[in-house]
Amino acid sequence: MTIKPVHIVVFMQMVLQCTLAFTFHSVFQSPSVNRIIESSVRNPFQLRVSLEDDMMNMDLDLEINTNQKQNEKSDDSSRKLKPVRRLRRNKKVPLIAIVGRPNVGKSALVNRIAGTQSGGAIVADESGITRDRTYRAAEFLGEKFQLVDTGGLVFDDNDALFAKEIREQAMIAIDEAVGVILVVDGQTGLTNMDQELADFLRKQITREIPVHVAVNKCESEKTGAIAASEFWSLGLGEPFQVSALHGVGTAELLEQMFESIDKKGSAIKGFGTKAKKLAEVKKKMKINPKKKIPGESDEDAMLRKYGLGPTEESVIAEYEEAMAAFDDEEEAEEIGIAIIGRPNVGKSSLLNAIFGDTRAIVSDMAGTTRDSIDAVMERPAPEGSDEPSTIYRFIDTAGIRRKGKIDFGPEFFMVNRALRAIRRADVVLLILDATAGVTEQDRILAQKVADDGRACVLVCNKWDAVVDKDSNTFDKSVKYFREELPQVRWAPILFTSAATGQRVGKIYGAVDDAIKAHRKRVSTAVLNEVLRDATLWQPPPSKRSGAQAKIYYCNQVSTRPPTIVVFCNDPSMINDGYRRYLDRKFRESLEGFESTPIRWIFRGRRARDVMRQRSMNGNPGDGGAGTSFPFPYAD
């Protein structure tokens, strides 16, 4: 049989068809192609696929399929691709999350462990008081840690207000924690919500971090153990009977939590073992050299008997090392920043915009934020500089309404926490509504900030909602807020938008300038020069009887805020108008006081008392080393 060219062409076509069929079969078995086909079928008009990425995925899948065929006898686990996950970073100060259903005593337990019964988390008999996650510093057995208080967890969104948002906050707290304490109510007993929450923690959380059950409200010695035994069915180990009100059982709970964290290794190495190491070293110091230590081998006992084992010096060194672990470490200074304002002006939205995350629950409903929320942020130093990093502690507070509208109850304590946040902060961000203008409550808050001596920055939020803006709107707005808030006329003004993030980044620069002004110190010579010029331009006031107020000298006695003491003959003759005049002249003559109040103290002294301390020409023979009066640096 002779082979003709037609036969060769037909044969080549058959080989080409077989090759194409095999290639298309391998390609369409690829997960990437199947995913593309499924997406094109579901959304034929929204298919947006990069050809290069898809071809790369196809090649990768083909390579994996080829390797799988070559290694069919290998183990299945070695052929599975593991997903990439973010590495959990062990924090220096571990976090322990307190979770549970609503109104079981989570906040009360946090206050008991942290020792913040006065001024801590708000506690009331009604459910839903705690919504955001709040952090409290605690210490037990020499170990420093933080407690994360969360809102009541509800898996059905229709059962409670802000149920979804509270659940998200609780999940973030659990993800950050090295251990979880599930709080249940011993008087109510086991409920379906407790069972659902325990099932979730047992299946999803206990693999990585320990979870313990705290049966609250079990202060009775007779019925407490019986009430706690019901919760063995949760499958989370031994339930601990505790009482947040009386402190019963909290020590045993924390001891077991520390042991579990050490076994799991969820925290930094050595956390929770300081007390154990100290107890072991103390036992070594009391041991008789002739007796065998429990757990010690015969060889080690023989060596120690003849002085070849641990010597007295080594044991003392171990004891000193164990005691040194309890010493307090130097912590970096934190800059406290309180965010205050009327309800529904955007305080929590601004906090979320600063952090770039949902740190606080935000809604259009006024009064969403209940308790004060502390959020810490660390800003690293510029590259190439030896300056340490700056740590900011932002304190988000509840909206402060007028005093006449506040009834005694949860809202009373919310406002009390907000006012307390002003006193424990270095800088106050007074949030104003740019669309609503200045109200009487804003003036009251501004006066409160000035009276407490805190640096202040005026933040006019919702600037994006201002309509009909032109080139003069900014200058007119600045003039308006200056005139309406004379209490803080020295404070800088920022026009921001928490919704769009406009000028939010400038808050850090304003805070840094306010801190420098709040801690500024000026020499006595410069202060007296400014005081001399001010009194020459405008002499002190006088009475109708002819008595004239005389100002001798001044000096700065402290900072935070800058405090200036002015010595005069009669403080009662210095009225408020002249005080404001001196404040204005000092701010005009000295730089750096734009963001802080200046506290003025006038003290009365007789002229001859001042003369006794300041000799005009000095003592005989000292070459005239005296100082002039009343302005020693005027010559």
pLDDT score of 141: 86
Hunting for tokens 């019901």 — which residue is that? 230
Last residue of one domain, picked from the residues 233, 264, 295: 264
* Same structural domain, 166 and 253: yes
Most confident segment among 78-82, 229-233, 346-350, 457-461: 457-461
CATH of the domain at 553: 3.30.300.20
* Same structural domain, 481 and 377: yes
* Same structural domain, 441 and 549: no
* Same structural domain, 32 and 154: no
Rounded CA-CA distance 38/184 in Å is: 46
Nearest CA among 225, 280, 272, 216 for reference residue 247: 216
* Same structural domain, 61 and 208: no
* Same structural domain, 441 and 418: yes
pLDDT digits (tens, 9 = 90+) for 273-284: 888 888 777 777
Within a domain: residue 44?
no
Within a domain: residue 81?
no
* Same structural domain, 371 and 454: yes
Within a domain: residue 631?
no
Within a domain: residue 133?
yes
Last residue of one domain, picked from the residues 518, 536, 570: 518
Q: What is the bridge-based pairing of β-strands 563-568 and 493-495?
A: unpaired
Rounded CA-CA distance 314/153 in Å is: 52
* Same structural domain, 342 and 218: no
pLDDT exceeds 50 at position 357? yes
* Same structural domain, 494 and 352: yes
Hunting for tokens 């920022």 — which residue is that? 494
- Find the domain containing 320 and state its range: 274-324
pLDDT digits (tens, 9 = 90+) for 216-249: 988 887 788 888 889 999 989 999 999 988 888 9
Number of structural domains in the chain:
5
Report in angstroms the alpha-carbon separations of 526 from 92, 472, 632.
46, 38, 11
pLDDT, greater one: 451 or 311:
451
pLDDT score of 204: 86
* Same structural domain, 474 and 388: yes
pLDDT, greater one: 400 or 11:
400
Report in angstroms the alpha-carbon separations of 279 from 141, 258, 276, 318, 425.
12, 16, 5, 11, 40
Most confident segment among 135-144, 283-292, 514-523: 514-523
Within a domain: residue 629?
no
Question: What is the maximum alpha-carbon separation in the chain?
Answer: 144
- 361 Cβ contact partners less than 8 Å away, ≥ 6 residues apart: 131, 132, 162, 165, 166, 169, 348, 368, 369
Determine the residue type at 617.
Answer: N
* Same structural domain, 553 and 420: no
Last residue of one domain, picked from the residues 218, 234, 264: 264
Within a domain: residue 454?
yes
Q: How many CB atoms lie within 10 A of CB 178?
A: 25
Within a domain: residue 46?
no
Rounded CA-CA distance 16/22 in Å is: 10
* Same structural domain, 352 and 444: yes
Tokens for 277, please give them: 């190491």
pLDDT score of 556: 94
- 280 Cβ contact partners less than 8 Å away, ≥ 6 residues apart: none
Report in angstroms the alpha-carbon separations of 113 from 77, 351, 523.
45, 28, 47
Tokens for 486, please give them: 């004379």
CATH of the domain at 490: 3.40.50.300
pTM: 0.68
DSSP state of 266: -
pLDDT score of 607: 57
pLDDT digits (tens, 9 = 90+) for 455-497: 999 999 999 998 888 889 999 999 999 999 999 999 999 999 9
Within a domain: residue 538?
yes
Q: What are the φ and ψ backbone dihedral angles of 335, each rounded to 5 degrees?
A: -95, 110
> Percent of the chain at pLDDT above 70?
68
Ramachandran quadrant class, 235 (left: phi over 0; alpha: psi -120 to 50; beta: rest): left
